[in-house]
């Protein structure tokens, strides 16, 4: 099974989900991308994944959604509804493969919310792993 996680910058949410799924579901091919990747992967992401013993699964740099072969994924997880809309614009035939987790971007939240957001992602990844 191939899973793609999509967020805005591919610097916080989607790389955390990708790395955790690689660690927790080693038989699943996990990937991530951003709708507008422009910043490097955050230090908060690296710190969180180090604490989860999953830092080795973290990608080196953000990747652009438009460079992905979207039709090749069995499941596409959009972090917010707007990410789903962008995926659908790129791949209308992917509609049945997209789910929305509705997880906020910690980049736009006050300091201190990052760990809570990452813990939400971890819970969703655990649920996903159990369902596969």
Contact 3, 28 (CB under 8 A): yes
Q: What tens digit of pLDDT does each residue of 48-65 get?
A: 999 999 999 999 999 999
Q: What tens digit of pLDDT does each residue of 84-94 get?
A: 999 999 999 99
Is a pLDDT exceeding 80 seen at residue 111?
no
Contact 4, 70 (CB under 8 A): yes
Q: Please classify residue 45 by burial: count the beta carbons closer than 10 Å to its beta carbon, then call 0-12 exposed, 13-18 middle and 19+ buried.
A: buried
User: Mean pLDDT over residues 31-60, rounded?
Assistant: 92
Q: What tens digit of pLDDT does each residue of 10-23 get?
A: 999 999 999 999 99
* Structural domain range at position 8: 2-131
Q: In sequence order, which residues have a C-beta less than 8 Å from that of residue 131 and are 6 or more positions away? A: none
Q: How many domains does the chain have?
A: 1
């Amino acid at each position: 099974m191939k899973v793609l996680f999509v967020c805005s910058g591919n610097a916080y949410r989607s790389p955390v989900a990708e790395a955790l799924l690689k660690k927790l579901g080693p038989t699943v091919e996990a990937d991530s991308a951003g709708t507008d990747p422009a910043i490097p992967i955050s230090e908060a992401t690296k710190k969180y994944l180090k604490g989860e013993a999953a830092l080795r699964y973290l990608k080196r740099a953000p990747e652009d959604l438009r460079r992905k072969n979207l039709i090749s994924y069995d499941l596409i997880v959009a972090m917010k509804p707007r990410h789903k809309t962008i995926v659908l614009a790129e791949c209308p035939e992917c509609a049945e493969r997209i789910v929305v987790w509705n997880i906020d971007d910690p980049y736009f939240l006050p300091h201190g919310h990052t760990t809570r957001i990452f813990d939400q992602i971890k819970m969703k990844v655990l649920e996903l792993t159990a369902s596969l």
